[in-house]
Structure 1
Amino acid sequence: MNKVFREEKKYLISIAEFRSTAGRLEKVMMQDSHNGTHGYMIRSLYFDTPYDTD
């Protein structure tokens, strides 16, 4: 059996935190080509190490 070292943690953020974070991210990230006119909601983000060790 494979060992799984990933932990999944979920946090609720306020609308103000969302807007602040979105404003900072849009300055450094390119939008997904499938985004469309109104975009789509991101429900989860996963951060892995380069060699999939976490």
Structure 2
Amino acid sequence: LQRPIPREWLLSGHRKLRKFDAKLIKDGLACLRPDNFKLTIVSRDLPGKWERR
């Protein structure tokens, strides 16, 4: 269900970080694994050695 949000949050909704919390960031990053997320790098030059382009 949708929840009402303050007018100043209309563009970002509940997704924007409102305060820095190192523990929450670490907990969120701990959930990411190569099999459950996709990372896209967009660049004309790719520094270093990469298996795929």
TM-score (norm 2): 0.36
Bigger-Rg structure (1/2): 2
* Structure with more relative contact order (C-alpha pairs < 8 Å, separation 6 or more): 1
TM-score (norm 1): 0.35
